[in-house]
Amino acid sequence: MTLLDQLSTALTPLGAKAQKMFSGTGFMLNGNLVIGTHRDGLIVCVGKADEATAAELEGASVMEMRGKQMPGWIIVAAEGCKSEAQVQRWLDKALAFNKTLPPKVAKPVKKAVKKATR
């Protein structure tokens, strides 16, 4: 079973929606990104309070984007999510943090207005 299959199997029954992002697939629950695939590993939202502890686990590091650390986000390399137990541990962390977040309401998409040309 692939990493994406494992996440989908665990999260779809909870109402999570898969969405392409970060060169992989992210799973949104209550409008918040919970966890996703990233290269051969994972991107996991654990929150600032659990960041340091999570970053000490095998294959894990605080996520960086454009040279800046992203507080509360963890990147997990392939060696940190090769077993079902490891993936489940990351899912548990991500879901526990997600429960502390308020649901986000989707913003309506604005339609582009074409200017009339003469």
Name the DSSP letter for residue 15. Answer: T
Three-state SS string across 73-99, please? Answer: EEEECHHHCCCHHHHHHHHHHHHHHHC
Second-level CATH architecture of 3-98? Alpha-Beta Complex (3.90)
Q: Where are the domains of the chain?
A: 3-98
97 closest CA partner among 77, 72, 60, 65: 72
**6-48 confidence digits (pLDDT tens):** 999 999 999 999 999 878 999 999 999 999 998 889 999 999 9
**44-93 confidence digits (pLDDT tens):** 999 999 999 999 999 999 999 889 999 999 999 999 999 999 999 999 99
